[in-house]
Amino acid sequence: MTIPEMDRVDAMSSLLEHVVDSFEKLEILVHLYRMRSLPQGASAIGRAVQLSSRAVAEALAALFKAGVVRTAERDDCAPWWFDSRTPWATTIEILVAIYDVNRGELLDLMKNVAIERLRRSGVAVSTFPAAPNRRRAFPS
């Protein structure tokens, strides 16, 4: 891996850890990135990405705080758009490209970033799901 590739991996990991740390934020950010020239209200975004109004409002507030989306006013009807002036713009462009080509790779990267975040917080993390208790699942 070359140095620029390592920088991109670090930038992507940092974006996924600090900005796009949920699937809701990912879906909304990808949608707004694609619709750059067409600002949309929160309800239209929710319909487009099939998320509840509460999930959309929470994700938009977090993305706004991170500086990757903008709005003219802070209400439900105000239009939202991707802020192409954000320092994350290049990394978000790469994120959308990975999303389009290999969503599984992106979800795997999100999972690894989340596991690493948990490990740093001191939580014991297993990458393997716990085996189901067969006695409870299939009573005799």
Higher pLDDT, 111 or 140: 111
In this predicted model, what pLDDT tens digit does every residue of 15-62 receive, in sequence order? 999 999 999 999 999 999 999 878 998 999 999 999 999 999 999 999
pLDDT of 128 higher than 80: no
Kindly state the helix (H) or strand (E) to which residue 71 belongs, with its residue range.
Answer: strand 69-71
Domains identified in the chain and CATH numbers: 3-120 (1.10.10.10)
In this predicted model, what pLDDT tens digit does every residue of 63-115 receive, in sequence order? 999 999 998 776 556 799 999 999 999 999 999 999 999 889 888 989 988 88
The reported pLDDT for the residue numbered 36 is 87
The reported pLDDT for the residue numbered 1 is 46
Phi, psi of 82 (to 5 degrees): -70, 135
Alpha-carbon span 59 to 29, nearest angstrom: 9
Alpha-carbon span 90 to 108, nearest angstrom: 21
Higher pLDDT, 139 or 43: 43
pLDDT of 131 higher than 80: no
CB atoms within 10 A of CB 101: 9
In this predicted model, what pLDDT tens digit does every residue of 78-92 receive, in sequence order? 799 999 999 999 999
The reported pLDDT for the residue numbered 119 is 85
- Name the band, by pLDDT with cuts 50, 70 and 90, for residue 118: confident
